Amino acid sequence: MAFAPMGPEASFFDALDRHRASLLAMVKRGAGETPAGATRVASRFDDSIGLRMIPQCATRKIRSDSPKSVKKFALILKVLSMIYKLIQSDTYATKRDIYYTDSQLFGNQAVVDSAIDDISCMLKVPRRSLHVLSTSKGLIAGNLRYMEEDGTRVQCTCSATATAVPTNIQGMQHLITDAKFLLIVEKDATFQRLLDDNFCSRMSPCIMVTGKGVPDLNTRLLVKKLWDTFHIPVFTLVDADPYGIEIMCIYKYGSMSMSFEAHNLTIPTIRWLGLLPSDIQRLNIPKDSLIPLTKHDQMKLDSILKRPYITYQPLWKKELEMMADSKMKAEIQALTLLSSDYLSRVYLPNKLRFGGWI
């Protein structure tokens, strides 16, 4: 075994073990298999993958003889030439590196990002196959060790200092863990609070990851790699608000902008652990800690309720409708009004022990 368990007694994880057994049965039946991706612009929902491109979708042409697209054509050629050199020399560069090679030409980072996404979609290959990497912003902690591509051995810990998500996820090798579950935490502040409260040690063996809000590509690739490698239950801990739910949906079902690579990024088996709108009522969280939904919140919530995958999640739909009816939202930090360590000592342990996820 890679690590000596320090957490609860074995019976604590009975619900998790049963959940994992059902996930493994699903994978064995082939429900977790993912067909190849398609082309860009139009998307459809596939229950086993998430949002993915449809083969017969609208396309746009970028021409060298058209005044409207000649600049875009030149920019894509410029980026393509740099990608060619990277592949030929078997080296890697970040999107930021590419931008700074000619910042006056590109103008801003978004231009480079868009060109790389267009090239990736056009060639039907993941971005990492172009030898273009993103700078990681995510963090990981807990029961995991691995080797990076250059031979560096990394051992994640449950201490207050987390490990940065690697830049080259594809280069991670020899991953080892005894973790019973993986917890995705929406916000860095909540992630750090859980580490400070020794949640990771007390719930050992487990793994925690945060994308610090909307996850970057590397954080999503890491979570997908951990699922593909270990097939352990994956849970999300997000605010009970439309934008927290949106972030959870990105991990589970993907995003429109990256739907051409959905089969490499999404984990439809993810479960919503908290904070549920129903928990707000069940725990009698003080009303003065709740926040009224803004106009933008209501628009986002309406948008999520109309998405095709919500049809496959009746329990999610019920929670979203509860939020819409109450016209209130709550941050995870609202639990501290019950007690300063309620989240780490009561809420999450009870949820995990008794199967309080949907």
Catalytic residue IDs: 100
Burial of 281 (0-12, 13-18, 19+ CB in 10 A): exposed
Count other C-beta atoms under 10 Å from residue 190's C-beta. Answer: 21
The crossing angle, in degrees rounded to 10, of helices 109-123 and 70-89 is 70
**Distance from C-alpha of 50 to C-alpha of 268, rounded to nearest angstrom:** 7
- Residue 290: which region, alpha, beta or left (left: phi > 0; alpha: psi -120 to 50)? beta
Residue 109's SS3 state is helix
**Distance from C-alpha of 239 to C-alpha of 242, rounded to nearest angstrom:** 8
Which phi and psi (to 5°) does residue 261 adopt?
A: -125, 25
**Distance from C-alpha of 169 to C-alpha of 133, rounded to nearest angstrom:** 9
